Amino acid sequence: MNAFFIAGTGTDLGKTHVACALLRAARARDLSVDAFKPVVSGFDPAAPEVSDPARLADALGRPNDWARVSPRRYRAPLAPNLAARAEGDILRMADLVADCRTWLGSRAVDLALVEGAGGVMSPMTDEATNLDLMVALGLPVLLVAGSYLGTASHLLTALEVVRARGLAVAAIVTSESLDAPNLDQTIEMLRAFERATPIVAAPRAAEWDAAPLVELLLG
């Protein structure tokens, strides 16, 4: 099984957009896939169909399976630890790690994706960040960046932090930001500073074909 952790250099950059396109492209090659987002905040139980878990479930071909994709769901659009606390819950890193390991251990698929919440250094619990979860799982990282002005600094900083903790970065995906500089020019600039890892463009178009990314990750 090929498993990857989808992380972002920040919040709302398109992690789920990239994950969904990757899942659909892999399924188009008749590969078996699955996805897991261990915790999600900003979840409206009255409209689950617009949530990230529902989008991932739809990309898996199981549109009603969003509860299994994300077992820990909180209403407030806050960092997961704060959103959990607003509902009288306390998130613990040991529990999140156990959830992910149990899920990974029960998968027998060609491609498994674990999607984080927020950016690399976003708080997940009162004492740990998204990066701590990534390190505990030790999966190769698919790092999603934006294309806005300033993304180079955020991406290069995230790369330094991730690599300093001993994690491998399998690929970088530059997700197109709205009202941002030209996507191709942004990628050309990023490649001048990061030559060790492939950088793939992810246009915001819903029909974006992630087949080249599947080929890159799975061969």
> What tens digit of pLDDT does each residue of 46-68 get?
999 999 999 999 999 999 999 99
Query: Mean pLDDT, to the nearest integer, of 23-28?
Result: 97
What sign does the CA torsion over 70, 75, 77, 82 have? negative
Least confident of 3-7, 62-66, 201-205, 212-216: 201-205
Report which DSSP code applies to 50: G
Which pLDDT band holds residue 204 (cuts at 50, 70, 90)? confident
Question: Using an 8 Å Cβ cutoff, are 152 and 107 in contact?
Answer: no
Residue 207 confidence (pLDDT) above 90: no
What is the C-alpha separation between 88 and 101, in angstroms, rounded? 25
Catalytic site residue 37? Answer: yes
What are the two backbone dihedrals, phi and then psi, of residue 194, each rounded to the nearest 5 degrees?
Answer: -130, 100
Could you tell me the pTM of the whole model? 0.96
What is the pLDDT at residue 72? 97
**Average pLDDT for the chain:** 95
For the stretch 109-120, what's the b/e string if a residue is b when 16 or more beta carbons lie within 10 angstroms of its beta carbon? bbbbbbbbbbbb
Among 24, 37, 55, 72, the active-site one is: 37
The string of pLDDT tens digits covering residues 110-158 is 999 999 999 999 999 999 999 999 999 999 999 999 999 999 999 999 9
| Domain positions in the chain | 2-218
Q: What is the CA radius of gyration of the chain?
A: 16
Instruction: Give the count of beta carbons closer than 10 Å to the beta carbon of residue 150.
Output: 10
Query: Is residue 2's pLDDT more than 90?
Result: yes
With a pLDDT cut of 90, the percent of the chain lying above it is 91
The pLDDT score that the predictor gives to residue 179 is 83
CA angle 91, 97, 98 (to 5 degrees): 100
CATH number of 2-218: 3.40.50.300
Q: What is the pLDDT of residue 14?
A: 92
Q: What does each C-alpha distance from 122 to 117, 129, 131, 153 come to in angstroms?
A: 8, 5, 8, 17
Counting every residue written for the chain, the total comes to 219
